Amino acid sequence: MRNPANVDELVEAIELAEATQHREVGERALPFPRRVVQERRTPEGTQRPVSRPAVPGPRDEPMPPEAPRSPPRPWLAGCAVHTENAPRAEVHLNGRPFLALLDSGSVVSLLKTAVLPPQPEAKMKLSITCVHGDTRDVPARRVTITAPPGAWPIDVGLVKELPVPVLLGRDWPGFDQLLASITQPAGPAGNRPSRKPSKRIRRRPVLLASDSPRDGESPPSTPNLYYDLYQQVTGAGGFSKEQHADDRLKHCWGQVRVVDGKEIQPAPHPTPHFIVKNGLLYCVAQRRGEEKTLLVVPRSKTGTVIEIAHAHPMAGHLGVQNTVQRLRDWFHWPGLEAEVRRFCQACPTCQRTSPRTPPPSPLIPLPIIEVPFERIGMDLVGPLPKSARGHEHILVIVDYATHYPEAIPLRKATTKAIAQELFLLCSRVGIRSQIVTDQGTPFMSRMMADLCKLLKVQQLRTTVYHPQTDGLVERFNQTLKQMLRRVTAEDKRDWDKMLPYVLFGVREVPQPSTGFTPFELLFGRQPRGLLDVAREAWEQQPAVHRTTVEHVREMRERIDRVMPIVREHLVKAQQAQQRHYNRAAQPREFQRGDHVLVLVPTAACKFLATWQGPYTVTEKVGPVTYRVRQPGRRRRDQLYHTNLLKRWVGTGPQLSAYTKAAPVVVDMDPQLSAAQKTELQHLVSQFPDVFSPQPGRTHVLEHDVRTPPGTIVRQRPYRVPEAQRHAIEEEVQEMLRLGVIEPSHSPWSSPIVMVPKPDGTLRFCNDFRRLNEVSEFDCYPMPRVDELLDRLGRARFISTLDLTKGYWQVPLSEQAKPKTAFSTPNGHWQYRVLPFGLHGAPATFQRLMDVLLRPHQAYAAAYIDDVVIHSETWEDHLERLRRVLLELRRAGLTANPRKCHLALSEAKYLGYQVGRGLIRPQEKKVAAILSAPRPTSKTQVRAFLGLAGYYRCFIPNFSSLASSLTDLTRKGQPEKVQWTPETEEAFNRIKAALTTEPVLRAPDFNCPFLVQTDASDTGLGAVLSQVHDGEEHPVIYISRKLNPTERRYATVEREALAVKWAVLELRYYLLGRPFTLITDHAPLQWMARAKETNARVTRWFLALQDFNFTVQHRAGTANANADGLSRVWAAFAGLSGSTPRPPPVSPLLHRTRTTLGGGGCDTCPELSSASPWKPSSHTCSCSSRAERPHLRIIKNCLLKHSKRTQR
């Protein structure tokens, strides 16, 4: 056979060879090409016959006539498999295994009738058409086919004569994945030997004129890669059921206003609103001024819809906003934008082809080299136009200390040539210690490694695709090429001859970073140049003559004087470069095991992906250098600079786009050992995405604002002072940058207010009071602070996490965003996240934290955005802290590192100082109470009582102490309070109670409790305590006032009331545990067992039958804790004359601290209310001391004696 003369003859030869090969192996070959004669014009315009094979296609074969098809045969009886390698796979049909034939040309799956158990006449029919055009209706059944890609229910046809049990078509969603897993060649671990790819020419299918469809025929269709995706969307039935089953759409079903054209709620209908049509839920909304009916998509179908709108070839992988706009024209579901954003961020194609690169990592200054030629940088420039002397490359060498450059022309860029020039350089300046090169082939060769080993030179290599590491040489390369381009404009072949002149010009110019010329730094003097020659000619003065000794001495002195200045200039230059470069830089850090994409520069094809991967980080080599494992590439492990890496976003829970991977500095307990601090810092460094000053964005839940249909809150904005407009604009721009707000066209509007902060700045606030009035209230419970403190008190290690702008990390639902709209002088905006000021915000955030911390509730808790983790041992605390941080990462939440405190022995939490088994109020909070001014109005009195009442558990008998102040807030009292000496004493008394540094002991539920109670004329008091080391330690103080009816009770009734009230009030600690009840009233010991007793007291004791306690009597002199709770204020009230003095019915000794602001005996001047209390011993000197109870001060204690007291 002659050699082909053109492309047509080459194609002919290939077709002949293929046809012959198929016939030799006995398979069904292509019809042998027949020779046809075609007329073809020669270049000279003549015609000559050209032979060309014509391979007829399927359409060229004549269809058999109808008559020979008698007798009729089953429509698939003639099907046969003509290859032994037909794609087959094992599948499970309703749980039973079968071997299925995969038919890529079939759009319907078929089963042999005998495969399924018989059943009554099938109601469902399936119309199928075979390749010959015959159409037939066959029974259909719905079955579930399971294979490695997954399990999907589909409708299949039943054919009795089917030659295989299962014929799997493209209607099964996992068909393409299953077929690809079967037909792909075996890898290195397989049994098939790998084949070298063939270099034969592949023919591209050409559509000839004879292949065009005839009349009545459909054109040939190409395989649709997304056919199975559309099958999921167009599948019959079940959509309405999925809408009803979706919990996320329950709120939408509850706001339906029209059902099949019938209004169930009166018009006008708000926009948007929901309707039901043919059993399907729709949302009616405005789109570009037009009312549209949008189909509401359940959760199970949102991923499919987003896949079509974003990843389909007709969608084009557009960005988030374009995808959202496209979906909003047809569909609606809660959280559409957030779900689209997560999908686009995790889209593999978009991640690999995204033109955006992450912000560069901050610049790390290189070490300053002070010894000339101690470290040199080396690089190759070329290939350049070949010079007249055969040079094509330039070997560039720059000294890092003096910036002295060398440029050596080379004929070939080989290691041998480079080694020769390097030896010549060493002969002039000495053997160097370090050489910095890139990873070019000449520098990575074995010869270069042997050379460096021989000369004891350390070879430093830059990372791949990151020449900035050797920036000194790379920058000089640009300068050198630019100078050569200018000096060789006339003759490009003489560029190598111009190198010495160019180098001289560079060496005698001061460098910006050093401030001196390379000549001066290397030789200690400025060599004589052309300018020196010109100046000497004009001045006509001979050069100054110096001896060799003088020259050496001056050179040394000059170098000693210049080098400190050079170092200072280099430091300033590095700082200036760092400031300029780091303006757009952001710290980024990867951990071992992270998946990353690698930026591989390529200019071969604009359609090639610029990002490759994902690959795995195996090691952090330097501050910004990582070792990445790349399976399938020539070098499996490669070093990359962090600027060439981008974090791979998987399909799981996503982190906020605002999260920075910055080095985290979190407050730790200074008493930790060095090893503990190292372990804790290592743990913190693994969560740079969690410890961030930028708010995250969770995907766990959304906040919704439910309002009655048809209700709109529209308020005029408050007029803003001109001086505050700049602060408002800055806050709006910051919220736009963080993605907190967006421009709005909502009819809702709430005003804004600017509230001054203590530091003088302004706080941006929204006035949502009208919106809160019309919105539904969320009744989700908040945790009790006292229960949280009880859990923390005995912990040895406590960590507190404060979430960054907690509410801003919770997204709003689509229907709630317009309701949060507000106006500023520069526009109308609405929130995308949960704003501060909504009354449902605390409940939503507490629900979120309870959901996240439910698996860790034994050692972690949260009060809104304040998270606390507590442990008894160091190892447990590290593990528990890790688990909680992982939970925050999965939820997409971030914590403010400035407000987080880790592994503290005593922590400040919710206004308390807890730890080491103790609980005390925070000093700053107490200082705020002590500095509170005297109230002048009822509002100020309530504010003071609320502030001081937060610590009432530390103040014995708080209710009695504050009784005169609470009386000022009663209904009917004037707004402007009437301040009396009695209220002044109560005001100072409450302050004084907090100055004694009260301390409570954290409860130990493994130890028994003691409850001490007492009652006075005006109040009840109790203290819960436990015995530790032989001493009683209070756990909590409680007290309350007696109402007028209770004040008239008998003494025994008041004491019994104190017992009943205290036990019920402390049921959280006492129920289910045995405890001891201590009272100073002896009759209570037997009254509960007496046959005849007070009916009221009996009822109270019956109410305590659920408790297991024993009553123990303790004399009043020994029951100081509880006795002082109830009686100190009664004693003070009796002395001041405000209430009648009770008779001395029992030998009680009332003690209290002398920190009272006043009060005393009416008749004794030393103890009168007008005289201050003296910190010394004093006895009342009134003459009536023997006839009535009298007072004494002994050791700073006020003592009251009755007639029976003999002391």
Q: Using the predicted structure, report yes or no on whether residue 196 has a pLDDT greater than 70.
A: no
- Give the residue among 284, 238, 239, 240 at the shortest CA–CA distance from 258: 284
Which of 837-841, 933-937, 1031-1035, 1085-1089 shows the lowest mean pLDDT across its residues?
1085-1089
- Give the residue among 238, 75, 97, 223 at the shortest CA–CA distance from 154: 238
Q: Sign of the CA dihedral 630, 636, 637, 638?
A: negative
Q: Using the predicted structure, report yes or no on whether residue 123 has a pLDDT greater than 80.
A: no
Q: Using the predicted structure, report yes or no on whether residue 192 has a pLDDT greater than 80.
A: no
Range list for CATH 2.40.70.10 in the chain: 85-184+223-236
- Average pLDDT estimate for 970-993: 79
Average pLDDT for the chain: 72
Higher pLDDT, 923 or 176: 176
Range list for CATH 1.10.340.70 in the chain: 237-346
Could you report the per-residue pLDDT of 1072-1105, keeping only the tens digit for each?
Answer: 788 888 877 666 666 555 555 667 777 777 777 7
Tokens 């709770």 found at: 1125
Region 924-1201: CATH code: 3.30.420.10
CATH superfamily of 85-184+223-236: Acid Proteases (2.40.70.10)
- Average pLDDT estimate for 866-886: 89
pLDDT value of residue 778: 87
Residue % of the chain over a pLDDT of 90: 5
Which of 21-25, 355-359, 457-461, 680-684 shows the lowest mean pLDDT across its residues?
21-25
Q: How confident is the model at residue 1186 (pLDDT cuts 50, 70, 90)?
A: very low
- Give the residue among 349, 953, 294, 219 at the shortest CA–CA distance from 614: 349
Strand partners, 139: 125
Q: Using the predicted structure, report yes or no on whether residue 1149 has a pLDDT greater than 70.
A: no
The CA distance from 906 to 909, in Å, is 9
The CA distance from 517 to 558, in Å, is 13
Q: Using the predicted structure, report yes or no on whether residue 35 has a pLDDT greater than 70.
A: no
- Average pLDDT estimate for 172-185: 75
**Contact present, 239 and 301 (Cβ < 8 Å):** yes
Higher pLDDT, 908 or 327: 327
pLDDT value of residue 274: 86
pLDDT value of residue 1135: 33
The overall longest dimension of the chain from CA atoms, in Å, is 153
Q: How many Å is the Cα radius of gyration of the chain?
A: 45
> Where does 207-354 show beta strands of DSSP type E?
256-259, 262-263, 273-277, 280-287, 290-296, 331-332
Number of other residues whose CB lies within 10 A of the CB of residue 1205: 15
pLDDT value of residue 548: 62
627: which 2 tokens? 């070792």
Q: Using the predicted structure, report yes or no on whether residue 4 has a pLDDT greater than 60.
A: no
- Give the residue among 964, 408, 338, 267 at the shortest CA–CA distance from 657: 338
Tokens 């209570």 found at: 1084
Q: Using the predicted structure, report yes or no on whether residue 794 has a pLDDT greater than 80.
A: no
- Average pLDDT estimate for 828-836: 91
- Is CATH 1.10.340.70 correct for 237-346? yes
Could you report the per-residue pLDDT of 484-500, keeping only the tens digit for each?
Answer: 777 776 677 778 777 87
**Contact present, 506 and 405 (Cβ < 8 Å):** yes
1149: which 2 tokens? 């000794």
Which of 265-274, 823-832, 932-941, 997-1006 shows the lowest mean pLDDT across its residues?
997-1006
Range list for CATH 3.30.70.270 in the chain: 722-916
488: which 2 tokens? 């060789």
Q: Using the predicted structure, report yes or no on whether residue 161 has a pLDDT greater than 70.
A: yes
Higher pLDDT, 342 or 1194: 342
The CA distance from 28 to 782, in Å, is 78
**Contact present, 599 and 640 (Cβ < 8 Å):** no
Q: How confident is the model at residue 979 (pLDDT cuts 50, 70, 90)?
A: confident
- Give the residue among 603, 800, 809, 810 at the shortest CA–CA distance from 702: 810
Q: Indicate the helix (H) or strand (E) that contains 876.
A: helix 874-891
From residue 465, alpha-carbon distances to 378, 619, 788 in Å are: 16, 19, 55
Q: Using the predicted structure, report yes or no on whether residue 1123 has a pLDDT greater than 60.
A: no
- Average pLDDT estimate for 274-301: 86
Class for the domain spanning 722-916: alpha beta
> Which CATH entry fits the domain spanning 588-648: 2.40.128.110, 1.10.3720.10, 2.30.30.140, 3.40.50.2020?
2.30.30.140
Q: Indicate the helix (H) or strand (E) that contains 743.
A: strand 741-743
From residue 476, alpha-carbon distances to 305, 470, 512 in Å are: 54, 10, 13
Q: Which CATH architecture has domain 375-507?
A: 2-Layer Sandwich (3.30)
77: which 2 tokens? 């009886």
Which of 587-601, 606-620, 981-995, 1143-1157 shows the lowest mean pLDDT across its residues?
1143-1157
- Please state the pTM of the whole predicted model: 0.39
Could you report the per-residue pLDDT of 380-395, keeping only the tens digit for each?
Answer: 887 888 887 888 888 8
Q: Using the predicted structure, report yes or no on whether residue 1107 has a pLDDT greater than 60.
A: yes
- Average pLDDT estimate for 552-559: 64
Q: How confident is the model at residue 480 (pLDDT cuts 50, 70, 90)?
A: confident
754: which 2 tokens? 């600017």
- Average pLDDT estimate for 738-759: 87
Q: Using the predicted structure, report yes or no on whether residue 195 has a pLDDT greater than 50.
A: no
Q: Using the predicted structure, report yes or no on whether residue 190 has a pLDDT greater than 50.
A: no
Rounded to the nearest angstrom, the gap between the alpha carbon of residue 276 and the centroid of all alpha carbons in its chain is 38
Range list for CATH 3.30.420.10 in the chain: 375-507, 924-1201
Could you report the per-residue pLDDT of 627-638, keeping only the tens digit for each?
Answer: 888 877 777 788
